[in-house]
Amino acid sequence: MQIEKVLKRHNVSAQVAGGSVEPRSIIFDLQSHLTTGWDRLLEIKEELMLALGAANVEVNQANGRFHIQVDRPNEPPVALLDLLQAFVFNPMTAVLGVSEDSRPVLLEFANRRMPHVLLVGESGAGKTALLRTMAVSLAMTSRQSQVQLVVIDPRADRRARIDPLLAPLDYLPHMLAPLTVGPSETADLLNFLVGEMGYRIKTQTSLPAIVVLIDRADWLLAHAEPGLRDAIMQLAQRGEGAGIYLVLSVRQADDSALASMLKANLPVRLVGQVVDANVARMATGLAYSQAEQLLGEGDFLAVASGNATHFQAAFLDDYELHLVLEQLYARQAPPLLAQPYVGLLPEVEPPQPFVRDETDLRLGDSDDFDFIADLDAEEDEEEDELLLAFDAWGESQA
């Protein structure tokens, strides 16, 4: 170990005797009999930084032991638009982010056997941002005849502020209905989808795929009437066969609101930062996933078929999202459903011109699941108008 090599080189009689991993740092406990070890450790602090390749190292003393705290590096954000330009994706693909070996991590809804998804993580894990990334990437890789979206923010209402990460999704032309808020609106829409599911099963229809993204689904289930919970259960049990897919975001997988039967129908897990190893085991279904060591802010594990893929979630800021909306809105077409959804929801106006604030700096029965697509890292020879627009914008910013 590099720490012990540095200690030995400076004749400091101490050994690493355990430690802990924190969200932003790693703490090494030192065992030493030296009463003067504190001054000696302070003298070699900079050499420890060089040996460990760390931006910062702190030395402190507590509970009769010396401790070396090493800051963990922050992962740079992964730009969703860069990913979409660098690779050619199949239609109906949700781009999640980039794995440790720099390959895109995907969910492909074109596969009829695509399962439902459970998204787990504490506050600050990046769950809502990942829902936004999934919605936008699906819209950018798919026509409305292929994918339609439902986005639900259950804790908001028409008088309260909708989550700012989700609110702009209201303008996506792929939205089946305006962004749905509160248990009452959610119950109406989900019951409509149950009826649509029955029609699709009867007529053996599965397109367009309907992807239902529900933020804080654990809160919704805890405050919902039995009819709403029944609708979610029915969709979880039979929806995927009809091309209706649930993506449920929750804080903890062991929440009492999530019945075991519901979790059994959500075999794909996207797990962000969790509080401890027990919660990590419940969220991933794996004994030693180490999800408790994730950093938050988009640091995730994708888990299926007993395998885990570590990835950094892709992100797009509000300005980039507005560019996407301006291009997609021109393609808007009537939704291709068995029957239109009629709800007491407000109409969505076209997006207004964006003024930038310069002060703001494949899937089978889970046996052959693979988040990593075999893609060629080259640009599509037949780029569509959307990516051409991004190229032109990038040149103008250079």
Residue 53 vs residues 1, 70, 139: alpha-carbon distances, Å: 13, 10, 41
Domain ranges of the chain: 2-71, 78-329
Which run of H or of E encompasses 46?
helix 45-52
Residue 88 in 3-state DSSP? coil
Give the chain's length. 398
* Per-residue model confidence as pLDDT tens digits over 145-204: 999 999 999 888 765 678 889 988 988 989 999 999 888 899 999 999 999 999 999 999
At residue 110, what is the residue type?
Answer: A
Taking the C-alpha atoms of residue 176 and residue 165, their distance in angstroms, rounded to an integer, is 18
Taking the C-alpha atoms of residue 214 and residue 226, their distance in angstroms, rounded to an integer, is 17
Taking the C-alpha atoms of residue 388 and residue 224, their distance in angstroms, rounded to an integer, is 45
Residue 340 vs residue 115, higher pLDDT: 115
8 Å CB contact between 19 and 26: yes
Structure tokens of 102?
A: 């720099």
8 Å CB contact between 52 and 58: no
Give, to the nearest 10 degrees, the angle between helix 385-397 and helix 318-329.
140
pLDDT of res. 234: 93
Task: Domain 78-329: state its class.
Answer: alpha beta
User: Domain 2-71, CATH 1.20.120.1200 — does that match?
Assistant: no
Instruction: Tell me the backbone φ, ψ of residue 87, rounded to 5 degrees.
Output: -130, 155
* Per-residue model confidence as pLDDT tens digits over 351-368: 444 333 333 223 334 445
Tell me: cis bond preceding 208? Omega within 30 of 0 counts.
yes
CA-closest candidate to residue 83, choices 309, 314, 301, 397: 314
Question: Per mean pLDDT, which range of 106-115, 258-267, 374-383 is the poorest?
Answer: 374-383
CA-closest candidate to residue 390, choices 81, 79, 78: 81
- Average pLDDT (57-84) is 73
Q: Which residues contact 88 (CB under 8 A, 6 or more apart)?
A: 375, 376, 378, 379, 380
Residue 68 vs residues 29, 36, 121, 123, 395: alpha-carbon distances, Å: 7, 16, 28, 28, 46
- Average pLDDT (368-380) is 49
At residue 122, what is the residue type?
Answer: E
CA-closest candidate to residue 241, choices 212, 198, 296: 198
The DSSP code sequence of 180-205 is EEHHHHHHHHHHHHHHHHHHHHHHT-
Q: What is the percent of the chain where pLDDT is above 90?
A: 26
Please report the beta strands in the chain, taking only residues with DSSP state E, as ranges in sequence order. 14-21, 25-32, 57-62, 65-71, 78-79, 93-99, 104-108, 117-120, 147-153, 180-181, 209-214, 244-250, 268-271, 299-304, 307-315
Which run of H or of E encompasses 48?
helix 45-52
* Per-residue model confidence as pLDDT tens digits over 253-302: 776 667 666 677 888 999 998 888 887 887 787 878 887 878 888 889 89
pLDDT of res. 211: 96
Taking the C-alpha atoms of residue 14 and residue 34, their distance in angstroms, rounded to an integer, is 8
